């Protein structure tokens, strides 16, 4: 059944090589970003992902625009936001608040390996779709919950939003210029990080199931994911009581390691050790700096940060970006231009690594998507199908997965369950 559905997903043509999760079936009750991102990752790895959507509009992000993809007939329906995190999925519409809809989910749970949801804790349990109820139906089920604050604790009942958790979990406090206000990161990084943690947690639970024969509840939250990824900043506080501060693009423990202005733009330069700093000084024709006791070691450079950055800035501003990029190329000093998004997707390495891929969408025609970021030598990740239209696969999934006939499907439609 999985093979036949995979053929349908990629249009029935030549099937791509099965991914590492081929044979795993996922029931996805998530919407917006963290949850859909995690299930898209599973889909890229070959899992069959069945996205369950509200019949009245579906995933909220379908309407989050502009921009929208332009359809072949000139209309616009699907938002770029929705298209970014919902490929390799099949969409079915189910009214989970109806009794018939709940029974349908129960039937599907018998046939899947993974159930992913991002409702406020307790909400699905009241509807008969919580972990305990579904575990009784399928003891091998891996049930993953993605929430703002986790399943327990005094904040468990609060809804979670990326930018709010960025603020509450310390990320926004350390982001921005030194003397400026706190700012959010340019992409919803807390949601995306949580999606990555959730997808890894699901894989670990599937691996454990191979040993124990039992599924389990994977409890993943935005707050904990963001706290965990404070990394060295968090450790500096826990180990040494050192409170972080906003530093723009600068690094608290390495100098120079920041964006510096050139004549016509900006460039990111890093010198993580004394050898790199010495090389940088030679390239910039400031050889004496490498021997100056004020800047000889990284500890010295951190202590005398302001004056050193002033000297480097004055030199870099004497030439344009292109000059310094040519001068630094191949010298062993980390550097990078500050690319905009258009330049990023035209980057020769991005293109060489297939990070821009094109696929046929049922209404928009050919659309471009970012490719899977992890490459496998054998069982490859792939884009097998475009982000689905709302309810595009309802009938097909009910026929192929549950064996429903046309009469039974029509009955569910008349009952407004699908």
> SS3 for 224?
helix
Alpha-carbon gap, residue 177 to 247, rounded angstroms: 5
List CB contacts of 261: < 8 A, sequence separation 6 or more: 313, 316, 317
- Torsion 234-237-243-247 (CA) sign: negative
Please tell me the distance from the alpha carbon of residue 398 to that of residue 388, in angstroms, as a whole number.
16
Length of the chain: 418
**Token digits of residue 260:** 């510096």
Burial of 166 (0-12, 13-18, 19+ CB in 10 A): buried
Catalytic-residue membership of 73: no
Active-site hit among 191, 306, 360, 378: 191
Number of alpha helices (DSSP H) and beta strands (DSSP E) in the chain: 18, 13
Q: Is 195 helix (H, G, I), strand (E, B) or coil?
A: helix
State how far the Cα of 391 lies from the Cα of 116, in Å rounded to an integer: 18
Cα maximum dimension of the chain: 85
Q: What helix, strand, coil percent values describe the chain, rounded to 5?
A: 40, 15, 45
**Distance between CA 332 and CA 280 in Å, rounded?**
9
Task: State the alpha helices, DSSP H only, in 73-229.
Answer: 80-84, 99-109, 123-126, 131-137, 162-168, 189-212, 222-228
Contact call for residues 177 and 246 (beta carbons, < 8 A): yes
Active site residues: 191
């Amino acid at each position: 059944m999985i093979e036949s559905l995979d053929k349908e997903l990629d249009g029935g043509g030549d099937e791509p090589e099965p991914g590492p999760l081929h044979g795993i079936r996922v029931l996805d009750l998530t919407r917006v970003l963290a949850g859909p991102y995690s299930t898209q990752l599973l889909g890229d790895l070959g899992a069959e992902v069945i996205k369950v959507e509200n019949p009245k509009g579906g995933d909220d992000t379908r309407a989050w625009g502009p921009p929208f993809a332009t359809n072949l007939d000139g209309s616009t329906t699907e938002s770029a936001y929705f298209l970014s995190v919902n490929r390799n999925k099949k969409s079915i519409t189910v009214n989970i608040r109806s009794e018939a809809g709940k029974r349908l989910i129960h039937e599907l749970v018998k046939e899947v390996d993974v159930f992913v949801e991002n409702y406020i804790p307790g909400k699905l349990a009241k509807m008969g779709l919580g972990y305990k109820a579904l575990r009784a139906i399928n003891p091998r089920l891996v049930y993953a919950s993605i929430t703002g604050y986790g399943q327990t604790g005094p904040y468990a009942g609060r809804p979670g939003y990326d930018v709010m958790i960025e603020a509450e979990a310390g990320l926004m406090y350390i982001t921005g210029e030194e003397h400026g206000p706190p700012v959010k990161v340019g992409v919803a990084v807390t949601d995306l990080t949580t999606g990555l943690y959730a997808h890894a947690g699901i894989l670990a639970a599937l691996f454990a199931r191979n040993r124990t024969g039992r599924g389990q509840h994977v409890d993943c939250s935005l707050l904990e994911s963001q706290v965990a990824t404070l990394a060295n900043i968090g450790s500096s506080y826990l180990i040494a009581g050192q409170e972080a501060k906003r530093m723009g693009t600068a690094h608290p423990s390495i100098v120079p390691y920041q964006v510096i202005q050139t004549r016509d733009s900006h460039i990111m330069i890093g010198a993580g050790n004394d050898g790199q700093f010495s090389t940088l000084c030679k390239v910039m024709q400031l050889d004496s700096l490498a021997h100056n006791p004020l800047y000889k070691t990284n500890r010295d450079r951190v202590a005398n940060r302001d004056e050193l950055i002033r000297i480097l800035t004055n030199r870099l501003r004497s030439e344009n970006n292109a000059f310094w990029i040519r001068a630094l190329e191949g010298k062993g000093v980390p550097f990078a231009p500050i690319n905009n998004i258009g330049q990023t997707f035209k980057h020769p390495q991005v293109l060489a690594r297939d990070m821009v891929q094109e696929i046929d969408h049922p209404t928009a025609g050919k659309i471009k998507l970012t490719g899977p970021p992890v490459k496998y030598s054998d069982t490859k990740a792939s884009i097998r199908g475009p982000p689905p239209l709302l309810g595009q696969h309802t009938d097909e999934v009910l026929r192929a997965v549950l064996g429903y006939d046309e009469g039974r499907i029509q009955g569910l439609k008349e009952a407004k369950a699908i």
